[in-house]
Structure 1
Amino acid sequence: MAQVKVYGRRDVWAGRQREVSDLIHGCLTSAWGLPDGKRFHRFLLLDEDDLICPARGERYLIVEILCFEGRSDDAKRVLIRAVFAALGTGLGLDAEDVELTIVETPKVNWGIRGLPGDELALPYRVEV
């Protein structure tokens, strides 16, 4: 299980959500084996005054990936590198234009389809 939150400026990113989502989800499927149909992405587009980051440009994106615990440090490194490469190639972003955080929680802390996450039978592996 993984959910993605993307923060950026509305005046820059509005209308481009699908493009950004496709790039990030492609990385999740290739790096972590997430099924293509398991896409849960939220875009929190903010007015210029609501995203204060003086050392970053107007195209700055913050990407948060919320997920079950279980991925190895190597798998996390592979995903981070893949996202930076995909956003760089696909959107022309420099490394300084993107920050990514992986937030892991125990499966039991998730409630999905009426069950705690540790009681779910997933069709994909989390331990990669």
Structure 2
Amino acid sequence: MGQIKIYGLEKNINSRRQDLSDVIHSCIVEAFEYPRDKRFHRFFPMNEEDFLFPADRSEDYTIIEISIFEGRKVETKKRLVKLLFERMESKLNISPQNVEITIFENPPCNWGIRGASGDELSLNYKVEV
């Protein structure tokens, strides 16, 4: 299971919403061996007065928060981060300087999905990758 939150300036994130989602999803699918039909993305377009960031970032500054079941290897998570930096730059022209990524891991028992605790679900993908 994974939930993705994407934050950025409203004027930039709204015009790139689908492209951002496609790039992020392609990275998740590849790094985590995640099913293509599982896409849970939430966009948080921010007004300029509500989205403060350092002077060494541009208006492309984007924050990606990824909530997942715990169990993936360190190498797998690092691969995801690397893919995100690479593809955000090559496909969206967003410099790695303007991207911040945080992965939050929780035990499956801390999730409630489709009427069950996450540790009681039957998943169609592996978490231990």
Give me the TM-score of the superposition, normalised by structure 1.
Answer: 0.98
Structure 1 runs of 4+ aligned residues shifted over 4 Å read: none
Q: Distance in 1 between matches of 2:52 and 2:125?
A: 38
How many aligned positions are there? 128
Shift of 1:93: 1.2
Kindly provide the amino acid, as one letter, of the partner of residue 77 in structure 2: K
SS of 1:125's partner is coil
Shift of 1:12: 1.6
Q: Distance in 2 between matches of 1:117 and 1:90?
A: 34
Shift of 1:11: 1.3
Kindly provide the amino acid, as one letter, of the partner of residue 29 in structure 1: V
TM-superposition CA deviations, 1:78-108 (whole Å, max 9, x none): 0000000010101111111100000000100
- 2:24 match: 24
Kindly provide the amino acid, as one letter, of the partner of residue 60 in structure 1: Y
Q: Distance in 1 between matches of 2:119 and 2:107?
A: 8
SS of 1:14's partner is helix
- 2:111 match: 110
**Structure 1: runs of 5+ lacking an equivalent:** none
Q: Distance in 2 between matches of 1:119 and 1:15?
A: 39
**Structure 2: runs of 5+ lacking an equivalent:** none
Q: Distance in 2 between matches of 1:105 and 1:13?
A: 27
Kindly provide the amino acid, as one letter, of the partner of residue 6 in structure 1: I
Identical amino acids, percent of aligned pairs: 45
- 2:85 match: 84
- 2:10 match: 10
Q: Distance in 1 between matches of 2:14 and 2:113?
A: 29
- 2:127 match: 126
- Tell me how large the CA RMSD over aligned residues is: 0.7
Q: Distance in 1 between matches of 2:11 and 2:5?
A: 18
- 1:44 match: 44
Q: Distance in 2 between matches of 1:31 and 1:122?
A: 17
